Amino acid sequence: MKKVQFKSSYSQYLFLAPQLGILLIFLYWPIIQTFRDAFTMQDAFGFGTQFVWFDNFLFIFDDPAYWIAFKFTIIYSFVITLITASIGLLLAVQANNVIHGKSAYKTLLIWPYAIAPAVVGVMANYFFSERFGLLYHLFNNLWGFNWYESVFDSYIYLIIAGSWKQISANFIFFLAGLQAIQRSVIEASMIDCKNSVRRFWTITFPLLMPTTFFLIIINITYAFFDTFGIIDTTTIGAPSGETRTLVYKAYMDGFRGLDLGSAGAQSIMMMFIVLFITIFQFRYIEGRIHYN
């Protein structure tokens, strides 16, 4: 913290007021309502609501569709994190390796970051359409790919669509991480270890740990929340609800089914999952990594 500061006065709250005001009205108020929704149930005709304790939660735990979405969300975020982080790291290491054209490579690989997930989804649609989709026909010839019917194939479809743009973000952060490693450390390690592959895994990679864990969180958040636009423009949950993330399912239950109690309970479950991952990251992982 700063040693020199202003004394607390009304002016401090003037500086805080705009952000706090927006957060209170458009974030805290809705969150309180989410909790209210989660613990109440509307009667069939929408005339009144009733406090039902944990009924909405018990109901979603009993619902096989919830666990299908749960399973998909876990698999999806795991695979996306793995694919985008490995390809991003591979590209960043190569870009850090070349002497000429480093900034050109940066420019050529950074732009997909800026494309909206929904736009990526619409594009992916064209490559996976039965009518003229190139990837559809390629995979179809290889193993009879048909995402309209096969759960596995629809996973493949969404994993490709979801990973494509996110490679960019991983690339940028890994490259920045690599460039932040001090020259002297690399030079010293070059004397000690001639094998460049071993040098990477024993010296460079451990030094990249802070970046790696930051990116794991970024990628999981992306797979949880940002993929909404991709799913809504590609499979819409096809074949029959197997490719809905928890967020997508909560939205559909609230919007299509008008079941706000269930949507609220699902949102709160999601908040706990995010909170758990965050705490896990701070408590168990942050302590074990080396910062340079």
Partner 1 sequence: MTRLITSGFSHFILFIGILIMIVPVWMIFASSTHTGLTINTHGLQMFLGDSFYENYMRVLLYKGGFFKEITALKMFLNSFIMATGVAILSVITSLMAAYALVYYRTKYATLLFWIIFVTILVPLELRIFPTYSVMAELNLVNSYFGLIVPISASAIATLFFRQFYKTVPDELLESAKLDGANTWRFFIDFLVPLSKTMIVAMLIFMFVFGYNQYLWPLLVTSSEQYWTVVMGLKMMSGSIVHRFAFVMMSMVPPILIIIVLQKHFIKGVFQDK
| CA 203/CA 120 separation, integer angstroms | 36
Nearest-CA neighbor of 231 among 72, 3, 87, 111? 72
Residue 150 CB coordination number (10 Å)? 17
- For the CB of residue 3, give the shortest distance to partner 1 in the complex, in Å: 5
Output the smallest distance, CB 41 to partner 1, in A: 15
CB of 149 to partner 1, least distance (A): 22
Paired sense of beta strands 49-51 and 40-42, if any: antiparallel
Residue 189 · residue 207 · CB < 8 Å? no
Give 20 or 58: the residue with its C-beta nearer to partner 1: 20
The closest alpha carbon to 264, from 275, 272, 254, 279, belongs to: 254
64-97 and 246-255 helices, crossing angle to 10°: 130
Cα–Cα distances in angstroms (integers) from residue 269 to residues 60, 66, 161, 190, 265, in the given order: 10, 11, 26, 49, 6
Q: How far is the CB of 47 from partner 1 (least distance, A)?
A: 17
Measured from the CB of residue 240, what is the shortest distance to partner 1 in angstroms?
A: 21
Place of tokens 């458009």: 26
- What SS3 class is residue 159? helix
User: 235 vs 267, which CB is nearer to partner 1?
Assistant: 267
Smaller CB distance to partner 1: residue 94 or 202? 94
Return the number of the residue (50 or 94) whose C-beta is nearest partner 1: 94
CB of 146 to partner 1, least distance (A): 18
User: At closest approach, how far in Å is the CB of 216 from partner 1?
Assistant: 16
Task: Decide whether 117 or 162 has the Cβ nearer to partner 1.
Answer: 117
Residue bearing tokens 């070059």:
190
Cβ proximity of 172 and 89 under 8 Å: no
Give 15 or 47: the residue with its C-beta nearer to partner 1.
Answer: 15
Q: What are phi and psi of 172, to 5 degrees?
A: -60, -45
CB atoms within 10 A of CB 254: 18
d(CA 90, CA 106): 13
The nearer residue to partner 1, 147 or 222, going by C-beta atoms, is 222
